[in-house]
Chains A and B, each alone.
Chain A
Amino acid sequence: MHDFESDRQRLFSRRTLLLGGLQASVFAGLIARMYYLQITEGTRFATLAEENRISTQLVAPPRGIIFDRFGERLAANEQNFRLLLVPEQVGSVEEMLTRLNAFVTLTEADLRRFRRDLRRKRPFHPLLLADNLTWAQAAALEVRLPELPGVSIDVGLIRHYPEAIATAHVLGYVGAVSEADLKADADPLLSLPAVQIGKTGIEKLLEKELRGRAGAVDQEVNAHGRVIRRVDERAGTPGQNVTLTLDRALQNYVQQRLMTERSGAAVVMDVHTGALYALASHPSFDANAFSRGIGQETYSELLNDETAPLNNKALAGLYAPGSTFKMVVALAALEAGIIDAGHPVTCYGAMQLGNHKFHCWKRGGHGTLDMIGAIRESCDVYFYDLASKVGIDGIAAMARRLGLGTATGLDLPGEKAGLVPDRLWKEANRGENWQAGETLIVSIGQGYMLATPLQLAVMTARLVNGGVGVVPHLVKQIEQGRREQTEWPTLGLSERHLATVRRAMSSVCNDKRGTAFGSRITDKGQEMGGKTGTSQVRRISMAERSTGVISNENRPWRNRDHALFVGFAPVGDPRYAVAVIVEHGGGGSKVAAPIARDILLEAQRLNSAATRRAPLPAAEFIPPNPANRPQTSAAGAGEEPSD
């Protein structure tokens, strides 16, 4: 009998060896795969594992500090104490909240945010419970921390402005990074929740310099993002410190002085260097509230306010310069060689041109005046006469040389260009020919003419600094970068003609007949010169003129005239130029001139102090009572709106 059994065994052995060979080759394949992963690609996977393991966390550098010209702080970083809680380390969250209430009053909003985070985030993430703790609260909590597991105090930095209201318009403010900011700037630092970005003003302009570069901490994390330990640390670069040309004390003073009025702006500038010592717009806002984040309600309120607190009127407010423009016309006529300073014009209260009668503000007329007299008493007819001789293009050219009609080039965003009209402009923009009468209206700073207070300060500086084309600026120095420019090219104006204008402006204040005599400075060596101006907001109708012009006080606020004053001091050796506008304030001599006088006095007082003083505490400042202002003398009696 055939031995099937041994056949079967032989077949089994053969097949088993074959199967063993197959399995061995599968194992060989697996070894090849292991070799590929661990040796051939080992380095790549090791790198990937390291990337998995290490999470790099950016550390925000402190934002650069902004100083005034004397090294006093205008913007700094304050410690912001934040109360954090790690849920998994706290036994019962509710019980802990009750315990914490003994130290900190938790608001509804705080609790709502906390409970939302509690649901959303993993239990080992520190959650923010309260922000902006006082030092006392933080200190009280700090000592109890051992009994409060899972609770910690985090010290962050928050922007703080010591003179928040006075400097708000210049410095601007910082705020949370927006989607648009992220799109425009790829700096990874911006993705940090605590980082604030400059939204307006110097904070925005010098954002790059002030921000600094992020440091980093490498942390070992697990797959859930829990930090296991700190591996490496790289220090960041703090933001650069910035020094401005502002004088904190003067800025503060100017802001407070403007507060006696409802709305206005003032600029104080060094006539030789163009350094701005003060640039104020009133009303202002609290920049500190903005950097902490203000509510929509407060913001809308500010936005809708008639007096536009968010608007920096010193460089974005456009006003007809009124009679402050008359020096430009005078200088244009002198430089054109058409007349000299002795040129006489007789004012009968109006001038006839074609069918139109152009009035002087003084109904009876000024009689015969030379140029100095005309500026001193602000005679309109004198300038009608000059304007008709020089022509609009000559006036416009001089206005532009003195800094009007284009942005001055200030290193702060938001500056308006104003408008100096001429023939070309009217044809291009109105499609009409220039009318001779319009030249007359421009000559007294009305009509199409528009200028910012900053431009008026620049104009004044250029008139009294010997005809140097100074450009205003705010940035004095950046830590590792540029320094201010203090030398400027000359405008090529005749010193003799400029002296005439200076003398005329001096007599405005220091001559009994001057329109600002009542606001003169009597301190020896500190006398000021200047020019009043009243900018008409509303046309005076023929009917009104016949029945008598309605006085300012009887009109609604928004229809009242703007009060202007441009000035400089000291008269002998000009250093400070000032431009003041009081919106709808009335006459320049009554309202604007006293403010300019106080500012120029304060500027000189601060400057003459041998040692630098401590900043003037706000509480000690007593605004001058308008009722106690020195009464204007008869000769300098209030100026009426020019027509």
Chain B
Amino acid sequence: MRAIFAGPEYAPRTEMGLFEKLMHLSWGLVLLVCLIAGAGVLLLYSAGGGNWDPWAAKHAVRFGIGFGAMILVALVDLRTLLRLAYPLYALVLLLLVGVEIMGQLGKGAQRWIDLGFFQLQPSELMKLTLVLALARYFHGLPPEQVVRPLSLIPPLVLILLPVALVLLQPNLGTALLLLLASAMLFWGGGVPGWVFASAIALGIAAVPVGWEFLHDYQRQRVLTFLNPEADPLNTGYNIMQSKIAFGSGGLFGKGFLGGTQSQLAFLPEKHTDFIFVVLAEEFGLLGALILLGLYALVIASGFRIALASRSQFGRLLALGITANLFLYVAVNIAMITGLIPVVGIPLPLVSYGGTAMLTLLIGIGLLLCVAVHQDIRLSKSGLAEW
């Protein structure tokens, strides 16, 4: 690989040895990730009624595998990622189309590819590859062109293709997450403020139209969210029980394995989307604040890495991954506390689930990769000199 010369004030950095890379690895972030995943194992142990089976042990093993993947990704050269951004995006888009066709043919809701040891959901991977592709695009876009509306067309196409496919599945939650994360990336990429203002205005105006396109069960979720007590035994049941479990935790909680709502199966999906409620019930507001604090620290590290990066690609990649993490946490907690309708968004590293775990750890691997390569300046393509 050829040397890249940055400005005269910076020491030119070209190649880094493995040891050097490991030295630059953000070990604080790695520790935070381990703490959060450890909390996940603990909560899944409780959700299993005080058993390693069926969730806690598997979760720990998956984390172990994902942890390795995370470190591997962190050690990949950032320039390689820049080069591979579009091809990876195209590959995952193809996978998305593939499962969509398979799903249509099979009349089933199967939107994953069975890899034997776990089920790969392309829509999860798309969260990463879309960030990569957008970061790649804005990295390569001359700064003065970012204000030109025409230059926004390619990234919009990059976004809308996967969003449309995910909506077809239908997976409203993931589609919204893709949109919001992309919006934050646009923001960081320097897209002018008026674009966001008009997009928000357009979005509000489109709500009645969008309502027409929602599936019945999706509408039901929204209606249930607006008035959960109206039908407490059916669709409102989950969110009611979730709020009861959450609220009954109080300040200190009912103690480990002492959560009556979660232990007595009143809590739905307690091992996946509603795992935070187990925490809130058994460890109270205090426990919930500690985990939320850990997430806040992860997100803050993400921002720090983004700000410290010397390349636009690194900055935007870190920002996009951080935005995704933030959205996972915020949407999940807002959902289980009854602030927004039920959308199937897991809690990062804590909820039981293979693809999400792997996607998130690879994403954090990307974050770490940006941190490792923070001082490397990249050309537009990752090859040529800037």
Residues of A in contact with B (beta carbons under 8 Å apart): 4-5, 7-9, 11-13, 15-16, 19-20, 23-24, 26-27, 29-31, 33-35, 37-39, 41-42, 44-46, 48-50, 52-53, 220-224, 228
Chain B residue at smallest Cβ distance from A4: B143
Which of A19, A31, A220 is within 8 Å of B264, CB to CB? A220
Let me know if A4 and B280 touch, CB within 8 A: no
- Say yes or no: B315 contacts A12, CB within 8 Å: yes
Shortest 4 CB-CB distances between A and B: which pairs?
Answer: A45-B247, A49-B248, A222-B264, A4-B143
What are 22 A-B interface contacts by the 8 Å CB criterion? Answer: A12-B306, A15-B188, A16-B303, A19-B188, A23-B330, A26-B330, A29-B339, A34-B246, A34-B288, A38-B284, A42-B249, A42-B250, A44-B247, A45-B246, A45-B248, A48-B244, A49-B244, A49-B281, A52-B264, A53-B261, A53-B266, A223-B266
Q: Is B250 a contact of A38 with CB atoms below 8 Å?
A: yes
Residues of chain B lying within 8 A (CB to CB) of residue A49: 244-245, 248, 260-261, 266, 281
Given A12-B312, A31-B292, the answer on whether A4 and B142 have CB atoms closer than 8 Å is yes
Residues of chain A within 8 A of B244, CB atoms compared: 45, 48-49, 52
In the complex, the chain A residue whose C-beta lies closest to that of B266 is A223
| Residues 315-358 of chain B, each 1 if its beta carbon lies under 8 Å from chain A, else 0 | 10001000100100010011001010000000000000000000
Q: Which residues of A contact B289 (CB under 8 A)?
A: 31, 34
Contact B280–A38 (Cβ < 8 Å): yes
Query: What is the bound-complex CA distance between A4 and B146, given in angstroms?
Result: 11
A42 with B247: CB separation less than 8 A: yes
B292 interface neighbour in A4, A12, A27, Cβ under 8 Å: A27
Give which listed residue, B241, B306, B312, B337, contacts A33 with CB less than 8 A.
Answer: B337
Establish whether residues B312 and A221, one from each chain, have CB atoms under 8 Å apart when the complex forms: no
Give the Cβ gap from A88 to chain B, nearest Cβ, in Å.
16
In the assembled complex, which residues on chain B have CB atoms less than 8 Å from the CB atom of A31?
289, 292
CB contacts (< 8 Å) of B296 on chain A: these are 24, 27
Is A46 a contact partner of B285 (Cβ separation < 8 A)? no
Given A26-B330, A33-B339, A48-B244: A16 and B143 interface contact (C-beta under 8 Å):
no
B158 contacts the other chain (CB 8 A)? no
Report how far A41 CA is from B296 CA in the complex, Å. Answer: 25
Once the chains are docked, how many angstroms separate the CA of A330 from the CA of B314?
Answer: 126
User: How many angstroms between the C-alpha atoms of A337 and B288 in the bound complex?
Assistant: 102
Please give the distance in Å from B328's CB to the nearest CB on chain A. 12
Q: How far is the CA of A5 from the CA of B314 in the complex (A)?
A: 13
Chain A hits for B315, CB < 8 A: 9, 12, 16
B187 within 8 A of A: yes
B337 near A30: Cβ-Cβ < 8 Å: yes
Q: Does B299 contact A (CB under 8 A)?
A: yes
Are B326 and A23 interface neighbours, CB within 8 A?
A: yes
A222 to chain B, nearest CB (A): 4
Residues of chain B with a CB closer than 8 A to A26's CB = 326, 330
CA distance A222 to B246 in the complex (A): 17
A52 and B285 contact, CB distance less than 8 A:
no
Q: Which residue of A lies closest to B323 (CB)?
A: A19
Q: Which of A27, A39, A222 contacts B266 (CB 8 A)?
A: A222
- Residues of A within 8 Å of B87, CB to CB, are none
Decide if B249 touches A38 in the complex (CB within 8 Å).
yes
B190 close to A (CB within 8 Å): yes
Query: A27 touching B251 by the CB < 8 A rule?
Result: no
Q: How far is the CB of B204 from chain A (nearest CB, A)?
A: 18
A27-B292, A34-B289 are known contacts; what are 5 more A-B pairs with Cβ within 8 Å?
A37-B337, A45-B243, A45-B244, A49-B260, A224-B265
Asked whether A30 and B246 contact (CB < 8 A) given A38-B284, A49-B260, A221-B264, the answer is no
B190 touching A39, Cβ below 8 Å: no
Q: Which residues of A contact B144 (CB under 8 A)?
A: 4
| Docked CA distance A20–B300 (Å) | 8
The reply to whether A53 and B260 contact each other, CB–CB distance below 8 Å, is yes
Within the assembled complex, what's the spacing in Å between the Cα atoms of A29 and B264? 30
* CB neighbours of A27 from chain B (8 A): 292, 296, 330
Q: Using CB atoms, name the residue of chain B closest to A26.
A: B330
CB distance from A27 to the nearest CB of B (A): 6
Report if A39-B330 is in contact (Cβ < 8 Å); known contacts: A12-B190, A221-B264, A222-B266: no
Complex interface: chain A residues within 8 A of B337 (CB): 30, 33-34, 37
Kindly report which residue of chain B lies nearest to residue A47, judged by CB atoms: B248
Q: Cα distance A41–B288 when bound, in Å?
A: 16
Shortest CB-to-CB span from A218 to chain B, Å, is 13
Kindly name the residue among A13, A16, A27, A42 whose own CB sees the greatest number of chain B CB atoms within 10 A.
Answer: A16
Bound-complex Cα distance A324 to B247 (A): 81
CB-CB nearest in chain A for B300: A20
Which residue of B is nearest A45, CB measured? B247
